[in-house]
Amino acid sequence: MTTASGTAQPARRPHRGLYRELYRGPVAPDLWRAGAHLATDGLAALAGLAVLLTLVLGICLLPVALTGLPVVLLAGRALHLLAAAERARHAATGGPELPAPPLPALSASAPLRSARALATDRGTRRQAGYFLALLPLSVLTNGGAVLAWALPLTLTALPAYWSRLPDGHAVLGPLTVDSTGTALLVALAAALTGFFLAPPAVRSLRALDTALARTLLAPPRDQQLTRRVEELTESRAQLVRAVEEERRRIERDLHDGAQQRLVALSMTLGRAVSRLRKSGDDDTRQIVEQARADARAAIAELRDLARGLHPPVLTDRGLEAALSAVAARSPVPVRLDVRAEPRPPAAVESVAYFVVSEALTNVAKHARARNAWVEIRRAGDRLTVTIGDDGRGGADPAGGSGLSGLAGRVAAVDGRLRVTSPAGGPTLIEVDVQCG
């Protein structure tokens, strides 16, 4: 193989990566994290067993004037806390980030209702099943990990102690070790076996442990989907409330401010037209009448904006035409590149429009930028919006700059907003929205 400069380079061999992975096996950080996780399986299993026994004790005491009810509630709460600790243990030792199931409603003021919620909660039953299954699994994982390392290490040290054994030799199945040469061969074979087989054995045991956690510690798929739907429903409800509040504010501001001034201007121009008609100055009258017509058109446009929260051109001609007007009004030069065919749904177009409008407003107010750019692309059922500027950077979504509101607006249509704004710039706002 030759490089662009013409110098020959040795060809890469695929098996080198495999060998390198095998050689680094015993010293790989993930292997030691897996070993630490397996070593603590027994402690987690014993803690879970203690909580489950307490829960059973409380259930057995329920017939005795409900004296076991507080024990049941405390044990149920402890079970959920212990399951949360297990999810944290898996994440801390290189395992998956497991989502937590929703907690049942437990209240000291309504113990019977809390006990019923605990008994009918799927997450509680699954977590109890996890700790029941973890007890025998911990015996397998702890024993397997010990054998995977201890047996090769013990045999590797065989040359140092074989002659001190009671019989003066060691018997390993059909093999009898009665000389230093034989002991060295056994030690070499044990070292190689441990080097190549112990790491995958430990990783396999960790994978088995992780599979159990994925199955019983995480909420089931249908529950995750239900929670996702609830989150989306709530975010959309928040958006509807925010839009309604914004619409009312805009209508009030326009009605009490700009609209009233335009109405007063139209009336003044009307009186001027009447006087010019009496004076016979037709040329000036036509100019004033045109100004009055423009004022009326501006009043109508403001009313449409207040009612619809977006300009009519967005509905009529799409994102490119609407954003061209926004870019033209921006005090910072804006390069606009819109390729969004076929047109996205109206809700997605509205979100993209207001994200760009608010972002360019922030650029003009805070960025001290010389240039800004907007790129919009549609690929399949995804619409991506990128707004950038060459300003001072340091934009913080939590700093009250309006970015948090944009994030909420994007989340309402199941989209994602990411802000990259290091000190000194440039600032990039990236939005990814599904059009389907």
DSSP 342-398: SPPPHHHHHHHHHHHHHHHHHIIIII--S-EEEEEEEETTEEEEEEEE-S-----GG
Class of domain 317-434: alpha beta
Sign of the dihedral defined by the CA atoms of residues 109, 113, 117, 119, in that order? positive
Distance (Å, rounded) from C-alpha 370 to C-alpha 392?
10
Domain boundaries, the chain: 35-216, 225-308, 317-434
pLDDT of residue 19: 46
User: Mean pLDDT lowest for which of 25-39, 42-56, 136-150?
Assistant: 25-39
The position carrying tokens 């037209």 is 273
Here the tokens at position 6 are 């013409």
User: Mean pLDDT lowest for which of 95-99, 239-243, 286-290, 299-303?
Assistant: 239-243
Here the tokens at position 76 are 């149920």
Phi, psi of 135 (to 5 degrees): -60, -55
Summarize pLDDT for 386-402 with one digit per residue, the tens: 999 998 888 877 665 56
CB of 341 closer than 8 Å to CB of 334: no
The position carrying tokens 């009055």 is 292
DSSP state of 219: P
pLDDT beyond 70 at 178 = no
Summarize pLDDT for 195-217 with one digit per residue, the tens: 777 788 888 888 889 999 888 88
pLDDT beyond 90 at 373 = yes
CB of 53 closer than 8 Å to CB of 71: no
Among residues 252, 14, 52, the alpha carbon closest in space to that of 134 is found at 52
Sequence-distant (≥ 6) Cβ neighbours of residue 314 within 8 angstroms:
321, 322, 349, 350, 353
Distance (Å, rounded) from C-alpha 213 to C-alpha 95?
10
Averaged pLDDT score across all residues of the chain: 79
What share of the chain in percent tops pLDDT 90?
13
If one counts every other C-beta atom within 10 angstroms of the C-beta of residue 344, the result is 24
Which comes out higher in pLDDT, residue 130 or 3?
A: 130
What is the mean pLDDT of the segment spanning 14-34? Answer: 60
pLDDT band at 311 (very low <50, low <70, confident <90, very high): low
CB of 285 closer than 8 Å to CB of 273: yes
pLDDT beyond 70 at 319 = yes
pLDDT beyond 60 at 149 = yes
- Residue 76 exposure: Cα atoms within 13 Å on the Cβ side: 27
Report for 27-41, 50-64, 283-297, 330-344: range of highest mean pLDDT: 330-344
